[in-house]
Structure 1
Amino acid sequence: MEVGRKLTRVDAVDKVTGRAYYTDDMGERPMLVAKVLHSTIANGFVKKIDVSAAAALDGVVKVVTCFDVPQIPYPTPGHPWSVEASHQDVCDRLMLTRRVRYYGDDIAAVVAEDEIIAQRALKRIRVEYEELPPLLTPEAAMTPGVTPIHQECPDNVLKHTVTNLPPKDCPEFSTVEEVLASPKFHRFEGHYDTQQVQHCHIENPISYAYMEHGRITVVSSTQIPHIVRRVVGQALGIPWGQVRVIKPYIGGGFGNKQEVLYEPLNAYLTTQVGGRAVKLELTREETFQNTRSRHPEHFDVEAAVDDDMRLMARSCRAVSNQGSYASHGHAIVANSVNGFRQIYADVLGHKSEAYTVYTNLPAPGAMRAYGIPQGAWAAECLMEDIAHAMGWDPYTFRLKNLMPEGYVDPTNGITCHSSGLKACMEKGAAFIGWDELRRAYQNQTGPIRRGVGMSVFVYKTGVWPISLETASARIVLNQDGTVQLSVGATEIGQGGDTVFCQMAAEAIGIPTEDVHIVSFQDTDITPFDTGAYASRQTYVTGMAIKKVGLQFRQKLLDYAAEVLDRPAEGLTIQNRAVCDASTGEVLRTLEEISQEAFYSFRRSVHITAEDTNQCKDNTFAFGCCFAQVEVDIPVGKVKILHLVNVHDSGKLINPALAEAQVHGGMSMGIGQALSEEMKFDSRGRLLNGNLLDYKMPTAMDHPELHALFVETDDPTGPFGNKALGEPPAIPVAPAIRAAILNATGVALNRLPMSPQYLVEQFTAAGLIGEGGKDHV
């Protein structure tokens, strides 16, 4: 069995020895260097740009401005294109813009012989603006009478949706509002906020572009090479076949590179300098300011519960600060409220409302788990607050209300085909000693206290039926009996190439070591795949690989049957050989069959298989997090003592990689919980766009991270597997928040739970200051 093996990553040696080639390691030398001029206002218009001094600088090859580039609006998110307009993304981007929508917007670009000359040239450009007041919050942007950030949205609301699931077969109540207002139930409300955070991948966005034979080639660190190809064609107004995109090894993305960032501008610039190679690499500050981030969202929520701990109804109103451009649009906050709804079963009804609002901040986009961390924060904070107020055990309260197996989402039809959530909770509670710690932490006093908390999550796998799910794979026989696997799906550091090889090996019946894969996608030659996002690749691409692997296996057995003059039905592949299916006798090695296939005078056949999988199913992954913390109340310091995630991701393809994925997601969750936040001044200028002032957690802030699994066998997964890549980041923040509540009795309603915020809340609660002398 190849699926389930703890194999070393297929790219491990090259990466740790430095032999792996990333975008900046490739290309002709020297290349021209492009740098972008960013606006110094957050809202307004470019009236005039004087580039004469910059263009006169020795070594400057070309200066282009927002008045020069094609005025073709294009979409940037990494979603599949659709022939149906309703499934197409918002086209609100230009390569360079006259209409400034955030501090740092792209208004001009310089191409020079080297980076120093390009930077000097930027300083010589003079810009005249017409400035408008910056609108930095959804409330400000929705104020009547303000100038629209995008003319097509006069109220600055990109989209507003309502989902109403009223009580069925219930003569007593006809609306969710009636349930929530009923004196028969306990009513609770909450107001919760999440912050804007950056992905902080190691490799900044980078690409280079050049032309040959009238076509543009873009080499880019991207999660979505086939989508980049399409968007470059759209932005330049040229046939998509005139664009070739190559994706080398990539130094992280986490969703930021699930967006077409500067590839269209880079492609345009090479056309302006005679097709010479132009490199466009962002600085860390530009990565913070000019790429994507996680959406800040505000939630107003309500719940009605009965005396038996059952959720009778809930409502959720979410407002998402979309910033300056649509990016992934309404999909993020829609996912947030969907996740809020799906995580628990409401007995009588549910209502949700979601707003996506343009503001004059850098535009957020996709980030690991795509809106679910925000929705889970609101859902889990509400559950914890209810349990705390009612004196209920939070574990038991959650257990009473979990999504049942067989659940079908009433809005999109996504079905819970398998669930190990209850077993995950049992395993996590036993690991951390839930009952013992809850008893031990009752009635604490003093300045330093301990607490234990938990949270749960649910996460769909892929994007069907909200969007298209399609992937192709190709397998080619080598002369030595090994195979080449080619996919358009992308390895972005998560171990995708390794599990792809394991899946192919499993389907064919050969060792994983005999499957060769190159971690470079080239849109000219690799099969089509929409890319790495939505935890979709082992589920969607995995099914394509299984499908093609089985076809290849059959073709190989059919040819062996000709060579051996025996029926194919009596043959099998094992131990690198074609064997008698009943006795296991080796009849020919795969190398011998391959040599025959390539070089036989009788009949030479180059054995290959290629096919497409359009996935029209989805399923839910589950899990939970348990956190034990120590809180130093006077200084607002939280120390994480123990942290464990337990996941139901179906069958694990590679348990070692699965554990690594969970550890990485937990680390991101710690940062979101306690320290990370993008800060802006009143002008909309980013204040901490670097890794010194932006407070990512270090090794000193981490406990030992524990990853546990409950394996289920999901009937829709190619090998019983389902989502894993994104879920580990979801439950950590609410689990830590619950542990702080358990320790101090103080409910924290916004992220990050930084020392400053904790001291404010502890002071307000009387734990610090005059009212807190007896306690600290």
Structure 2
Amino acid sequence: MSLGSPLKRVDAEAKVTGHARYTDDHQMHGMRYAKYVRSPLAHAYVTAIDTYAALALPGVEAVFTYQDVPELRFPTAGHAWSLEPAKRDVADRQLLTQHVRHYGDGVAIVVARDALTAERAAALVEVVYQELPVIATAQGALAPDAPLIHPEGNTLKKSEISANQPKEAISSADFQLSAHFQTPVIQHCHMEGVTCFAYMEQPDHIVIVSSTQIPQIVRRTVAQALGMPWSNIRVIKPYIGGGFGNKQDVLEEPMAAFLTQKMGGIPVKVELSREECFFASRTRHAFSIDAELGLNHDGILTGYQLNVLSNTGAYASHGHSIASAGANKISYLYPRSAFGYSALTHYSNYPAAGAMRGYGAPQVAFALECLLDDAAEKLSLDAVDVRLLNAARSGDINPVNHKKIYSAGLVECLEKGRELFEWNARKAACKNQTGDLRRGVGVACFSYGSNTYPVGVEIAGARMLLNQDGTVNLQIGATEIGQGSDTVFAQMAAETLGIPFEHIRVISTQDTDITAYDPGAFASRQSYVAAPAVMQAASELRSKILAHAELISHQPQWGLTLLNGNVVMAAQPEMVLMSVAEVSMHAYYHQEIGAQLLAEISHKTTTNPPAFGCTFVDLSVDIPLCKVTINKIINLHDSGRILNPQLAEGQVHGGMGMGIGWALFEEMIIDEKTGVVRNPNLLDYKFPTIMDLPDLDCAFVETYEPQSAYGHKALGEPPIISPAPAIRNAIRMATGVSINTLPITPKTLFAEFVQAGLIRE
């Protein structure tokens, strides 16, 4: 059995030994390098631009300004194309802009023989700006006299969801509670930065090599940006050093394609510095949430209402889909209560926000899980008991989309977590505390989908080819970005085929001219959506192998099976007739019969089961120092059948670390008056290192999802969702202070503790 085993990653040795080749490892003769001229203002018009000094610098080959780029506007969000125009992403980008909309917006770009010369030349371009008022908040963006960031207005989109009359359900409850919550702008901080290069292999055919999560979407978007047929663009994705959603946007690929086109097809590289990644790639949306709920004395949640303002920054990117997705993802959590949700996404003069791990769910779950905890505390109810009463169960119906929940292990996660964490004993130890050092425990839950259906089309492709030596090449459209998808695909293929895991070679490089179609890595979709394609391709290849084995052995195909890379009698599996390698050699080289044995499947998925889970945390708060120390933290997950326990644990640990960072450390400090990013580097932007994280613990409650090809559900993004509210809830237990603004840094704690009278100024 391959699935369910903690098998080693198929790319592990290549990555740790340095054999894996990333985008920056691919060099081409004659490569040129590009560097942007970026605005020091967050909102302005360019009134004049002088490139003379830059062009005079030796080694500079071209300077292009906003006047030189196509007037075409294009979207950048990593969503599959929609046949319905109203459902397509907002096209509000140009390659360069005269109307500067955020600090660091690109107004010109230099191409030179080396990166240093390009950087020096960019500094020589003289630009005159007409400064405009900076808009930082929803109040500023939505004011009647607000200057327009885009011609269509400052409101990107708004939506409402209502199920089971939430207002009436809340008002009829024994107890009502409301609060305001605020989450910050943060950056993904993936190890590998934003980088790509492009060249032309034919007069009308552009090749782009990029560190991207979405090669097929990059192909389409670049074609849109340049006004070319989609088939004229080829995108190659080599190994990638992380993305976390930032690279679920089309970033610098259109510019690289434009530059190689303008430069006669020579290779041109566009690479962002770490500082540029902060303000010129994408960030997580800041949410402002007004929340209200109703809770009965017996702990039954009657209903809740969340009203969200989402700040998408200067450009739409994923825009309103983040805010709306947050609602859809948590609607499975407490499905027997009424649910109300309104959201408005607005532009601002902040750096553009886009997809980030969790896709709106962390912000929304933070508000809901904190407010529920506060309500339980005010009614003297146990926080775990309240969640057990209201948690989703198998057979429940989602009140928003009316879909049945077939597998739900949330109750089991809470019960197992309470036992492993020793909730009752730890909670009892936190009572009647005084002094400067206090302890608290907290819990929070989440639900999350396994793909984007029915909002987006979910399609995946797989191709399998039997080699002469009996091994199999698996070419998959789904993109490996560090999450381990290639490994579980190899496990799926091995299990369905009946050959050893070591005999599956996954071709990790995606090439849009060659690889089967898949929109990319996002929405925790890949293992779920690609699994049917892998299963069907493996089943088809298996049938072809057995059919050819029948020709050789003169045994009926129905009496044969594959086991450990051999053709055996189904009724007597110990009787080996021949190896798969022998079948393959015969199929390839017999003069009259056989052929190369291969299979290719493209499959659309129309189911989207939710994953569930929770976080338990024990922490200490040093009140005078405004310092939080996590003593113990554990995540519990229902992700259906666990395909590879070792990889699953790694995913959970990584997500927990990011969740702790979001809760206690991370924020992009942006001056609201000027829009300038004050900490665009890894020195001043604080996120947890290995020295800052506690021991991370996790456990799984295995269910079996009947809609899934192999019984599994989403796991990639869910681990990040519940740590922050659990940490906040533990801080409330320790101090009595409800802190509703993230991150909970010493600065935040000091202000809250002063207001609560715990610290005197």
User: What TM-score, normalized to structure 2?
Assistant: 0.98
Name the structure 2 match of 1:353: 342
Name the structure 1 match of 2:74: 74
Name the structure 1 match of 2:309: 319
Name the structure 1 match of 2:511: 522
Alignment CA distance shift 1:201-1:289 (3 Å): same
Amino acid at match of 2:682: L
Which of 218, 235, 243 aligns to 1:245? It is: 235
Unmatched 5+ residue regions in structure 1?
Answer: 168-175, 771-776
The whole-number CA distance in structure 1 between the counterparts of 2:167 and 2:24 is 57
Q: 1:390: how far off? A: 1.2
Contact 1:412/1:466 (8 A) holds in 2? no
Alignment CA distance shift 1:257-1:414 (3 Å): farther
In the alignment, does 2:467 pair up with 1:469?
no
Identity across the alignment (%): 48
Amino acid at match of 2:433: Q
Name the structure 1 match of 2:176: 187
Matches within 5 A, 1:104-253: 104-153=104-153, 156-167=154-165, 176-182=166-172, 185-214=174-203, 215-253=205-243
Q: 1:412: how far off? A: 3.2
Moved more, 698-707 or 217-226: 698-707
User: Tell me, what secondary structure is at the counterpart of 2:374?
Assistant: helix
Which of 287, 299, 308 aligns to 1:297? It is: 287
Moved more, 727-736 or 402-411: 402-411
Q: 1:413: how far off? A: 4.3
Name the structure 2 match of 1:39: 39
User: Tell me, what secondary structure is at the counterpart of 2:95?
Assistant: coil
Name the structure 2 match of 1:611: 601
Which of 483, 496, 499 aligns to 2:472? It is: 483
Q: Deviations over 1:211-251 (max 9, x none)?
A: 11121100000001111111111100001111111001001
Name the structure 2 match of 1:455: 444
Name the structure 2 match of 1:172: none
Amino acid at match of 2:211: S
Amino acid at match of 2:9: R
Moved more, 413-422 or 740-749: 413-422
In the alignment, does 2:694 pair up with 1:691?
no
Q: 1:401: how far off? A: 0.9
Q: 1:716: how far off? A: 1.2
Unmatched 5+ residue regions in structure 2?
Answer: none
The whole-number CA distance in structure 2 between the counterparts of 1:79 and 1:339 is 17
Q: Deviations over 1:416-472 (max 9, x none)?
A: 220111111111111111000111110000100111111111001000001100011
Alignment CA distance shift 1:179-1:601 (3 Å): closer
In the alignment, does 2:249 pair up with 1:259?
yes
Q: 1:409: how far off? A: 2.9
Name the structure 2 match of 1:391: 380
The whole-number CA distance in structure 1 between the counterparts of 2:56 and 2:401 is 58
Amino acid at match of 1:141: A
In the alignment, does 2:58 pair up with 1:58?
yes
The whole-number CA distance in structure 2 between the counterparts of 1:413 and 1:59 is 63
Q: 1:346: how far off? A: 4.6
Amino acid at match of 2:294: A
Alignment CA distance shift 1:165-1:516 (3 Å): same
Name the structure 1 match of 2:724: 733
Q: Deviations over 1:198-222 (max 9, x none)?
A: 1000000100111111211000000
Contact 1:208/1:278 (8 A) holds in 2? yes
The whole-number CA distance in structure 1 between the counterparts of 2:118 and 2:655 is 38
In the alignment, does 2:536 pair up with 1:547?
yes
User: Tell me, what secondary structure is at the counterpart of 1:629?
Assistant: strand
User: What TM-score, normalized to structure 1?
Assistant: 0.96
Contact 2:297/2:379 (8 A) holds in 1? no
Aligned residues: 758
The whole-number CA distance in structure 2 between the counterparts of 1:737 and 1:391 is 18
Alignment CA distance shift 1:36-1:568 (3 Å): same
Name the structure 2 match of 1:718: 709
Q: 1:179: how far off? A: 3.6
In the alignment, does 2:750 pair up with 1:759?
yes
Q: 1:336: how far off? A: 2.0
Amino acid at match of 2:401: N
Q: 1:386: how far off? A: 0.4
User: Tell me, what secondary structure is at the counterpart of 1:524?
Assistant: coil
Q: 1:700: how far off? A: 2.1
Moved more, 352-361 or 158-167: 158-167
Q: 1:604: how far off? A: 3.0
User: Tell me, what secondary structure is at the counterpart of 1:588?
Assistant: strand
In the alignment, does 2:550 pair up with 1:565?
no
Contact 1:205/1:281 (8 A) holds in 2? yes
In the alignment, does 2:571 pair up with 1:582?
yes
Amino acid at match of 1:730: I
Which of 721, 735, 739 aligns to 1:748? It is: 739
The whole-number CA distance in structure 2 between the counterparts of 1:181 and 1:360 is 38
Contact 2:336/2:396 (8 A) holds in 1? no
Amino acid at match of 2:553: L
In the alignment, does 2:488 pair up with 1:506?
no
Amino acid at match of 1:683: T
Amino acid at match of 2:675: G
The whole-number CA distance in structure 2 between the counterparts of 1:363 and 1:49 is 24
The whole-number CA distance in structure 2 between the counterparts of 1:621 and 1:181 is 30
RMSD after superposition: 1.2
Alignment CA distance shift 1:140-1:98 (3 Å): same
Name the structure 2 match of 1:445: 434
The whole-number CA distance in structure 2 between the counterparts of 1:653 and 1:481 is 24
The whole-number CA distance in structure 2 between the counterparts of 1:150 and 1:527 is 37
The whole-number CA distance in structure 2 between the counterparts of 1:509 and 1:413 is 39
Alignment CA distance shift 1:414-1:92 (3 Å): farther
Moved more, 312-321 or 335-344: 335-344
Contact 2:638/2:700 (8 A) holds in 1? yes
Contact 2:33/2:269 (8 A) holds in 1? yes
The whole-number CA distance in structure 1 between the counterparts of 2:332 and 2:568 is 49
